[in-house]
Chains A and B, each alone.
Chain A
């Protein structure tokens, strides 16, 4: 379904701010799998997600999605295949448009937009139906501007919008990180529902060890732009949040070792 081959990306090359965000990443997702991406800050997990989404073009390697080579596709063209929910609840919706306007935009994700009337009767009926299933009482407020809603409500709507037309791939970028715990739980429950119902292939970045352990069927740990652990099947099911924290601790210790080793080398040879 998704095939990432030897993908590398360096930001600000040739400047003091040069960052090697991705170093030869290989990752293959089978159709219908739900893969969790974790890693420390700056590890490259969000960069990997954005590379797939097309926020930037990669320096090396190739990305194939649903049988098509999308490596050079611009972001808006990839939207035909990809649904996205962002970390910032403000990123996924248009605040000054109404709920129904936003949904009508999502109903044409990746398709041509002409001079047809945006809000057709059949579409409005499905909107009321789907929005009422969010259990947020928004079905009576379809004509309200999205700007008046809470972060949790916005994320729930963004999730609904990103999956309104079944995407080949769903990208979730820490989509509950900016929410209060109750809203986060609501949005996670909704995510599980949607992914299971439409059998979506999903790539999800998270900061929450709890989510990482309990969700998905495969877990990838990223560090310094490379994949360092890949847990699948029974091994993934056995993982507990403490195991993941232990892995992070390992990484941290290895880093310290590196630094002291570097220091020693510097003392002896410089």
Chain B
């Protein structure tokens, strides 16, 4: 049971990453590899601040801000210096590797004896349950600690998702969505599309870094290699979400992305349980995204063929 709760918890934590990838990849059609670096950036900034005694909420917000800065760098490279989107991301991601090492001072920072958002929510949960360490959920014995962390992360995702939905419905957010949809039109309506992309990438990487910060606090350490392959992971979540709920409505797409992340984590947990080697995880993830990207093409071709037949 504790394994299942843990799976859900990580699924929700990484759904923030998926929302970040949703912004860059789906709203701006910008394949932003910066995310691989900003997951770690968020983790290392939060971990370092926590070790220096900063309170967990502030440390997590600082991680969000650091991520925004990283995204703004990629945005500047692309919009001001006209560097290709992929290359802009790769440059910043590569640079972030050194930045992360500098921030942490070594290749990892353990958070075992430090107050984190995870230990704080455990504390609140234990207080609410008046000291009981486990409770009975339809016949299963569930640890209060695990359940409170899951509850806390669920509430955070709910709050962030709602904020994102609200933002994308404001005048500014709407202009951003239109920028990814039709640049010519949005320029003709007086919007500086470069600024929109820059700001959008900043928000996207803010989400990604926040996800990294929460992940570090949950697993109890930040590590310089924890960001590898995270963009593909987020992409897989976005694609699963779209398969679940479609792409017609903004609110549904956001909910779908979160669901996609949790579901994908669940699939991975099951696969690992069945004996998949953790070494093959990234390979399988990449293969999965590859299949998910080409299947729509085949379906379309099939439809055209059957329409002609």
Chain A interface residues toward B at CB < 8 A: 53, 74-77, 79-80, 82, 84, 86, 90-97, 101-102, 104-106, 108-111, 113-119, 145, 161-162
Contact B185 A76 (CB under 8 A): no
Contact B170 A105 (CB under 8 A): no
Which residue of the partner chain, among B169, B178, B186, B190, contacts A117 with CB atoms under 8 Å?
B169
Most buried by A among B174, B182, B185: B185
Whether a CB of chain A sits under 8 angstroms from the CB of B192 is yes
Give min CB distance, B104 to chain A, whole Å.
35
Give min CB distance, A174 to chain B, whole Å.
15
Within B170-208, the residues touching A (CB, 8 Å) are: 170-175, 177-178, 181-182, 184-193
| Chain A residues, Cβ within 8 Å of B181 | 94-97
Most buried by B among A82, A94, A101: A94
Whether a CB of chain A sits under 8 angstroms from the CB of B279 is no
| Chain A residues, Cβ within 8 Å of B170 | 114-118
Contact B171 A115 (CB under 8 A): yes
Contact B187 A94 (CB under 8 A): no
Contact A93 B171 (CB under 8 A): no
Size band of the interface chain B makes with A: 20 to 34
Contact A105 B178 (CB under 8 A): yes
State whether A113 and B177 are in contact (beta carbons under 8 Å apart), knowing that A76-B191, A92-B188 are contacts in the complex: no
Count of A-B residue pairs with CB < 8 Å: 90
State whether A118 and B169 are in contact (beta carbons under 8 Å apart), knowing that A94-B178, A94-B181, A105-B174 are contacts in the complex: yes
Whether a CB of chain A sits under 8 angstroms from the CB of B113 is no
Complex CA distance for A113 and B195, rounded to whole angstroms:
12
| Chain A residues, Cβ within 8 Å of B297 | none
Contact A113 B193 (CB under 8 A): no
Which residue of the partner chain, among A76, A104, A111, contacts B174 with CB atoms under 8 Å?
A104
State whether A76 and B193 are in contact (beta carbons under 8 Å apart), knowing that A93-B182, A97-B181, A105-B175 are contacts in the complex: yes
Query: Can you give 14 A-B contacts (C-beta < 8 A)?
Result: A76-B193, A79-B188, A92-B185, A92-B188, A94-B177, A96-B177, A97-B178, A105-B174, A110-B189, A114-B171, A115-B170, A116-B170, A116-B171, A117-B170
State whether A94 and B169 are in contact (beta carbons under 8 Å apart), knowing that A76-B187, A76-B191 are contacts in the complex: no
Residue of B nearest to A117 (CB): B170
Contact A93 B169 (CB under 8 A): no
Residue of A nearest to B173 (CB): A118
Give min CB distance, A78 to chain B, whole Å.
8
Contact A110 B190 (CB under 8 A): yes
Contact A145 B171 (CB under 8 A): no
Complex CA distance for A149 and B154, rounded to whole angstroms:
39
Per-position 1/0 for B144-178, Cβ under 8 A of A: 00000000000000000000000101111111011
